[in-house]
Structure 1
Amino acid sequence: MKITIAAVGKLKEKYLKEGIAEYVKRLSRFADIELVEVEDEHAPDSLSPAQESQVKHREGERVLRKIKEGSYIILLDLAGQHTTSEGFAAKLESIMLSGNSHITFIIGGSLGLDQSLISVANHRICLSKMTFPHQLARLILLEQTYRAFKIMKNETYHK
């Protein structure tokens, strides 16, 4: 199984890099993990709706170029499906059992997602009703993916 996490923006915070590295290491016994970052657009606070749309579109195009053909695409989206850790594990298991050997998770930039990304997604999930920085979403996604594999394998992991 191959899992790609494609995210807008560079990760700068040391504590996030360390946490992500830890979960990539843990996940490596279950899947081949690839982290892909694309450049984010400069977006001052005073953008018009049209300018916001242009920023999201440019970021979306960069992400789309990184998606491998045939990959099952899961978009992290505030309007996506809410689920439990067990439900997330069941979804991943279902994807794998249906013959998909590559899953790509997409995390958009600070302004959100372009329609071009929404339209190619096979599935959309929401990590929480709470708002997180998109950089922190990478760590949360990796932890939940690790937890999902532990659930699928019936292995103990803290609850």
Structure 2
Amino acid sequence: MKVSLICVGKLKEKYLTMAVDEYKKRLSRYCTLDIIELPDEKTPDNAGKALEEAIKKKEGQRILRVLKEDSFCIALAIQGNMLSSEQLASYMEKLFVSGKSHISFVIGGSLGLSEEVLKRAHYQLSFSKMTFPHQLMRLILLEQIYRSYRIINKEP
């Protein structure tokens, strides 16, 4: 099984990098993990709606270029479906059983994901109605993927 995280923006804080590295190590016994970092666009203060949409579109084009055609795409979006940890594990297990060998999770930049990326996604997942920094979301997502594998394998 291959899991990809496609992330807009780079991790800047050392403590986040260390935590992500720890989850990469933990996940290595369950899957092949690939984290793809894409550059984010700078958003000027007081950017209008049109400029924000143009920024999301540019970041979205970068995402779509690296998203593999055979990959099952799960986009993280506030308007997506909220699942418990057990439900996410069950969803992932169903994907594995149905023959999906590559899952890509997509985390957008500070403005979110473009419509093109959301349309390409097979599933939209929300962790909360709250907004989280995309750097922190990467860590939260990795922890939930790890937890899903533990649940699937009936481990504590």
Tell me the equivalent position of 2:15: 15
Shift of 1:130: 2.1
Tell me the equivalent position of 2:118: 118
Return the TM-score normalized by structure 2: 0.98
Q: Percent identity?
A: 48
1:60 aligns with 2:79: no
Task: Kindly provide the amino acid, as one letter, of the partner of residue 36 in structure 1.
Answer: I
- Where structure 2 has 5 or more consecutive residues not aligned to the other structure, the ranges are none
Spell out structure 1 runs of 4+ moving beyond 4 A.
none
1:107 aligns with 2:97: no
Task: Kindly provide the amino acid, as one letter, of the partner of residue 23 in structure 2.
Answer: Y
1:148 aligns with 2:142: no
Moved more, 141-150 or 39-48: 39-48
Tell me the equivalent position of 1:76: 76
Q: Secondary structure at the match of 1:15?
A: helix
- Provide, for residues 72-105 of structure 1, a one-character-per-residue CA deviation record: whole Å limited to 9, x for no partner: 0000000000010000000000111110100000
Tell me the equivalent position of 2:45: 45
Tell me the equivalent position of 1:85: 85
How many residue pairs get aligned? The number is 156
Q: Name the Cα RMSD after superposition.
A: 0.6
- Where structure 1 has 5 or more consecutive residues not aligned to the other structure, the ranges are none
Task: Kindly provide the amino acid, as one letter, of the partner of residue 21 in structure 2.
Answer: A
Task: Kindly provide the amino acid, as one letter, of the partner of residue 133 in structure 2.
Answer: P
Q: Secondary structure at the match of 1:74?
A: strand
Task: Kindly provide the amino acid, as one letter, of the partner of residue 27 in structure 1.
Answer: L
How far apart, in 2, do the equivalents of 1:103 and 1:45 lie? Answer: 35
